[in-house]
Structure 1
Amino acid sequence: MKKILVTAVLMFTALHAQNIYATFDVEAEKAAELSLTSSGTIEGINIDVGSRVKKGDILLWLDNDDMKEAVELAKAQLELARVDAKFAQRNFERYEKVKNVIDAGEYDRYASAYETAKSRLHEAQVNVRYKQALLEKTILRAPFDGVVSDKPVEVGDVVSGAMIKVLLRLQSAKANTLKLKVDQKYWTKLKPGQTFRYRVDGETGQREGKVSIVYPTANNANRKIIVEVPAKGIVPGLFGEGEIEAD
């Protein structure tokens, strides 16, 4: 009786289990084409193809000496505005204490001077932020941790903000994604969480992953559905094949 039961279970499993064949391409989890909106000549590049960078690292910058001087001038003007505002504040506070025993016009003059000083201080602060923002636009920073995959420019190349040009390409270094192409006839059998066993071209060993996303539409051109499987330690651009274990 036990043998019959085991046989029945195996037959049931065989009838209801199905391996779905799929090919895939390896893509970086994050990939970006980096550019600048400012115009100028590239003055320095800190990286090369294959360089690993951290979010916020300076990758390259334009000749921006004039903008640096503008920032320093704006900071100097801000410091003067702070001194004037503090002086005007002290005068105003002194006269405010005795405003009931002094001429109203004189009090109003110091109050007005204080308001003007505060306004100029605010304008100076805004100007510093504006100049710093212009300077920052001449500097290309890494938007996330990753590896530089392409560097089509060199020091001395001219960048035009009016014609956006790709300066660098960056992709995530650790986490990648397998983009599976599955025949659309299996669309009712695909779901997140299914196991995908696969081999990457050039490898002999088998890898394993879990389906994370099943795209809700099929490609009209090739009648394929895209399925994503997270992966690590695989070079983007490679391809392979495998099978999804589906019930």
Structure 2
Amino acid sequence: MTHHPRWNTVVLFICWLVAPAESYAQADNVVPVRVETVAAEAVSDSLVLAGSVNSLQRSELSTEIDGRVNGLNVDVGSKVKQGDLLLALDKQLAQQELSQAQAALEEAQVEYDEAARALAEANKLVDQNHIAKTELLTRENRQLAAKASLNGAKANVSYRQTLIDKHQLFAPFDGIIVRKNAEVGEWHSRGSSVLTLVSTNELRVDVFLPQEKYAQLDTISSITLIPDTQPDQPIEAEIATFVPVGTEGARSFLLRLRTIQNEELVPGTSVMVKLDFAMDQEGIVVSRDALLRHADGGYSAFVVEGDKARRRQLTLGKSAMAGVVVLKGLKANEKVVIRGNEVLQEGQKVKVESSGREGNSADN
């Protein structure tokens, strides 16, 4: 179908009339926004690292002698106190050997008593010349030999009693049994691990500090632990130990932390460690809600001047506690749009409905 040239002229004229009207309507549109007043404030740096909860006391418990397990008083997860009996070996044979040693001690005591009596008698007779001096010397030697046998028998009884005591395994400190390698009836050799005991009283969080943060170690202002077992309950911590020797592979330094108020942690679990570093400088900090990202990766924000929005190209620095540090593009006390900025255009009229940051009042 062919259009008359006159109709084309009419259409162009109508478009010319409508287009400016729409532009004027858009320019007159007032957008409600929320702003915050930015200020120069102390800039802090933070770092989040993965850490692990470790106990300062962890022991692989073992018996000091060979034997068959006769009694087991704990299981995995059992909480024990120092001195509690954990495991016992069959001591029947050791008890018989102790009885034999005690009998030998009694015999040695009798022999010594007899030798001592004979020597005392000889000492009386030698003064009266009723016994030869050689006989006196013989009795003295016999008494010395009996005394040595008696001492040996006593030592053997003590040794056998010690062996019986070693048939029992006691907890060396308070803690939790985390592993059990023995069952009743099993034979275990000395030195083999039968139980693993971990203390819950002295816990530390180990985290590795990257080498680029080594120079900032003294500027750490606060440390917060976020346990994976209780992510909604952050815990304040402090440095307990710092190992100033870097690991070869990771190029990092061991930082050992302890809780400030002795909050409970679970050994072997993981935690997120947030380190806050104080910095000797101030900067303009803006909320992340104010940032508009461009396709080229840059950022901008709108500020309110009078009743109009003005776009500012921003150069950003590091993240801060309250937002992001702006290196270039904003000045202190400027009002930055944090709500409604997605639909704003340069020079568009705005109406400030509320303000953020330190309770600033809304603009009119």
Query: Which TM-score applies when normalising by structure 2?
Result: 0.56
Match of 2:187 among 153, 158, 164: 158
Relative to structure 2, which stretch is displaced further, 82-91 or 100-109? 82-91
The structure-2 alpha-carbon separation of the partners of 1:215 and 1:111, relative to structure 1 and needing over 3 Å to count, comes to same
Code of the residue aligned with 1:218 in structure 2: it is G
Counterpart Cα distance in 2 of 1:198 and 1:67: 52
Residue equivalent to 2:153: 124
Match of 1:59 among 86, 104, 107: 86
Matched, 1:148 2:157: no
Code of the residue aligned with 2:175 in structure 1: it is G
Code of the residue aligned with 1:92 in structure 2: it is L
Matched, 1:228 2:256: yes
CA contact (8 A) 1:197 1:207 kept: yes
1:66-215 matched pairs, under 5 angstroms: 66-93=93-120, 95-96=122-123, 99-102=126-129, 103-161=132-190, 165-190=192-217, 195-203=222-230, 204-215=232-243
The structure-2 alpha-carbon separation of the partners of 1:190 and 1:78, relative to structure 1 and needing over 3 Å to count, comes to farther
Superposed CA offset, 1:14-68 (max 9, x none): 46x6544332101122011122353332211011222222333331122221111
Q: How many residues were matched structurally? A: 232
Code of the residue aligned with 2:89 in structure 1: it is L
The structure-2 alpha-carbon separation of the partners of 1:78 and 1:246, relative to structure 1 and needing over 3 Å to count, comes to farther
Superposed CA offset, 1:206-234 (max 9, x none): 21222121113222222322111234421
**Alpha-carbon offset, residue 124 of structure 1:** 0.8
The structure-2 alpha-carbon separation of the partners of 1:93 and 1:23, relative to structure 1 and needing over 3 Å to count, comes to farther
SS in 2 for 1:212: strand
CA contact (8 A) 2:229 2:269 kept: no
CA contact (8 A) 1:183 1:225 kept: yes
What residue ranges of structure 1 are gaps of 5+ in the alignment?
A: 1-9
Matched, 1:240 2:267: no
**Alpha-carbon offset, residue 238 of structure 1:** 1.3
**Alpha-carbon offset, residue 194 of structure 1:** 7.4
Q: Which has the higher strand share?
A: 2
Counterpart Cα distance in 2 of 1:214 and 1:96: 74
Counterpart Cα distance in 2 of 1:92 and 1:195: 82
Larger relative contact order (CA 8 Å, sep ≥ 6): 1
CA contact (8 A) 2:243 2:253 kept: yes
Counterpart Cα distance in 2 of 1:101 and 1:54: 69
Identity of aligned residues (%): 27
Residue equivalent to 1:217: 245
RMSD over aligned Cα, in angstroms? 2.8
CA contact (8 A) 1:210 1:229 kept: yes
Q: Which has the higher helix share?
A: 1
SS in 1 for 2:216: coil
Relative to structure 2, which stretch is displaced further, 209-218 or 23-32? 209-218
Code of the residue aligned with 2:93 in structure 1: it is D
SS in 1 for 2:68: strand
SS in 1 for 2:244: strand
Match of 1:22 among 22, 46, 49: 49
What residue ranges of structure 2 are gaps of 5+ in the alignment?
A: 1-39, 279-364
The structure-2 alpha-carbon separation of the partners of 1:202 and 1:190, relative to structure 1 and needing over 3 Å to count, comes to same
